[in-house]
Amino acid sequence: MKLNQLSDNPGATKRRKRIGRGPGSGTGKMGGRGIKGQKSRSGVAINGYEGGQMPLYMRLPKRGFNNINAKTYAVVNLGLIQKFIDAKKIDIKKPVTEQSLVESGLVRRIKDGVRILAKGELTSKLDITVTGASASAIEAVAKAGGSLNVTKAAKVAE
């Protein structure tokens, strides 16, 4: 096959609509703009304009703010960890780290770290090391006979 023999699949490209090119085109004469008025003319920008009145987006009060230092954690529940252990995706003999959670497919991206929450039941004895955990999650892991260590966030290259 040569470069001059390449062609697109039939129907892959659509022809440009040529507006104002005669009655046969279907969009001739007024070009789909209707009759008269501001919107039929060129150079119109009236999307947020209210005829000189103070616009709605300026009348409403500003609320809240975005904290630029806020951390976003990948959240994992204990019930999900147990489900992955039952499916043999997480090895209970090895310590469970953030990297092993990514390799098992439980966490897609580490972000600023992984935080463990206590939703669900954990029956396996595990040694978990993560960036964050709720107090009830630490208690639930200890109750199952394991340990949950919380470390400082070590930024891993994604």
User: Tokens 């697109």 appear where?
Assistant: 8
The domain limits of the chain are 74-150
pLDDT tens readout for residues 11-43: 999 999 999 999 999 999 999 999 999 889 888
User: Tokens 């897609």 appear where?
Assistant: 108
Residue 91 confidence (pLDDT): 87
pLDDT over 90, % of the chain: 70
Q: Would you state the CATH architecture of domain 74-150?
A: Ribosomal Protein L15; Chain: K; domain 2 (3.100)
Please report which confidence band the pLDDT of residue 116 belongs to, taking 50, 70 and 90 as the band edges: very high
Please report which confidence band the pLDDT of residue 47 belongs to, taking 50, 70 and 90 as the band edges: confident
Please report which confidence band the pLDDT of residue 157 belongs to, taking 50, 70 and 90 as the band edges: very low
Helix H segments across the chain? 56-59, 78-86, 98-104, 135-143
The mean of the pLDDT values for the chain is 89
Characterize 66-82 residue by residue with b for buried, 16 or more Cβ atoms within 10 angstroms of its Cβ, and e for exposed.
Answer: eeeeeeebbebbbebbb
